[in-house]
Amino acid sequence: MQFISEQKQAELLDMAEVVKAVEEALQAYSEGQTKNPLRHVLPFNEENKYLVMPALSDKLGIVGLKTVTFAPNNPQQGKNTIVGSVILSDYETGETLAVLEGSYLTKIRTGAISGVATKHLAQQNAKTLCVIGTGEQAEGLVQAVLAVRKVNHIQLFNRTYDKAVTFANKLAAQYDITAEVFEDVEDAMHNADVIVTATNAVTPVFQNALTAGVHVNAVGSFKPDMQELPSVTLQQADKVVVESSDTALEETGDLITPINEGVFKRDDLYGELGNIVAGKLEGRLNNEEITVFKSVGLAIVDIVVANYFYQKLLQLDSK
């Protein structure tokens, strides 16, 4: 059995390859070729949550389990908000093949899913990316968008300004881009072709209307009482896309709240991203469309990404 650490995963990573693997996972999910129960959430120590997520796919020949703890007060102790692990098992024998550190894997998985959405829903000539929330997930999201679009400018907003500055400096040193930090979220969104929201907000992180042609990846809200996007955003959108219709309608306030307010209906969902990947639904049709991808995560994608790292490690060890 292998233990694949965060450092080893980072060494093995090719984000473009992960985006391709995630496309296959999303398509398999939407084709009914996976078993992916709704996550089971156990609260503990007041605000903390323990999430348990098994998944398998006969089509892809994989099976595994992801466990995650969400502890919102961890940053005050210099620790990650999200901590977890993924257990990858042998599809034939059930034996444990690998245990992977889950925080980094989650960051890469979250990014790669939005990378798939950006690939199919953002304008082909998208150049400017806005990132709202520069916490743990932001780096993977930026990396994935850069893997599918030739972005050359990133506009950042974070509640803690200095944290955004640190992130901007890191991006500028790592990539051939310019990174700019804004004190006002509306300014950060101005002229952006792609907007990513990655916060733990329980109320919308912006209020202004979206401009024609923009694509939004909303990844932070994963509970019914969390809402990153103002309800009017869903009204504005020409297409609202999710990984899983059942999961999204059950778990995220970004959909539940507008539905309860009567400004959005379940039938208004355009469809699942996997069906766009498969060509069963069309992605972006023109440069005027406003598209929104609301992500809540799917365990099968975590297991596929875990298998990606495991197979890469086997290839490395065989050389």
How far is it, in rounded angstroms, from Cα 288 to Cα 238? 9
Q: Which residues pair with 86 in a beta bridge?
A: 66, 100
Per-residue model confidence (pLDDT) at position 87: 98
Q: How many CB atoms lie within 10 A of CB 106?
A: 23
What phi and psi, each to the nearest 5 degrees, are found at residue 267? -70, -10
Taking only the tens place, the pLDDT of each residue in 205-240 is 999 999 999 999 999 887 888 999 999 999 999 999
Under the banding of pLDDT at 50, 70 and 90, the label for residue 140 is very high
Architecture of domain 123-298: 3-Layer(aba) Sandwich (3.40)
Under the banding of pLDDT at 50, 70 and 90, the label for residue 115 is very high
Taking only the tens place, the pLDDT of each residue in 144-154 is 999 999 999 99
Per-residue model confidence (pLDDT) at position 316: 86
Q: Which listed CATH number (3.40.50.300, 3.30.70.980, 3.30.1050.10, 3.30.1780.10) goes with 2-105+300-318?
A: 3.30.1780.10
62-70 and 82-89 strand pairing: antiparallel
Q: How many CB atoms lie within 10 A of CB 305?
A: 27
How far is it, in rounded angstroms, from Cα 264 to Cα 257? 9
Does 24 have pLDDT greater than 80?
yes
Mean pLDDT of the chain: 95
How far is it, in rounded angstroms, from Cα 71 to Cα 69? 6
Residue 29 identity (one-letter amino acid): Y
Taking only the tens place, the pLDDT of each residue in 32-70 is 999 998 889 999 999 999 999 999 999 999 999 999 998
> By the 8 A CB rule, do 15 and 109 touch?
no
Query: CB-side exposure of 32: number of CA atoms within 13 Å?
Result: 0
Report the predicted TM-score, pTM, of the whole model to 2 decimal places.
0.93
Taking only the tens place, the pLDDT of each residue in 123-137 is 999 999 999 999 889
Under the banding of pLDDT at 50, 70 and 90, the label for residue 27 is very high
CA angle, residues 134, 20, 315, in degrees to nearest 5? 100
Query: CB-side exposure of 136: number of CA atoms within 13 Å?
Result: 22
Per-residue model confidence (pLDDT) at position 297: 87
Q: Which residues pair with 196 in a beta bridge?
A: 131, 217
Annotated domain spans of the chain: 2-105+300-318, 123-298
Taking only the tens place, the pLDDT of each residue in 80-113 is 888 899 999 999 999 999 999 998 999 999 999 9
Under the banding of pLDDT at 50, 70 and 90, the label for residue 284 is very high
How far is it, in rounded angstroms, from Cα 263 to Cα 284? 23
Does 251 have pLDDT greater than 90?
no
Per-residue model confidence (pLDDT) at position 317: 79
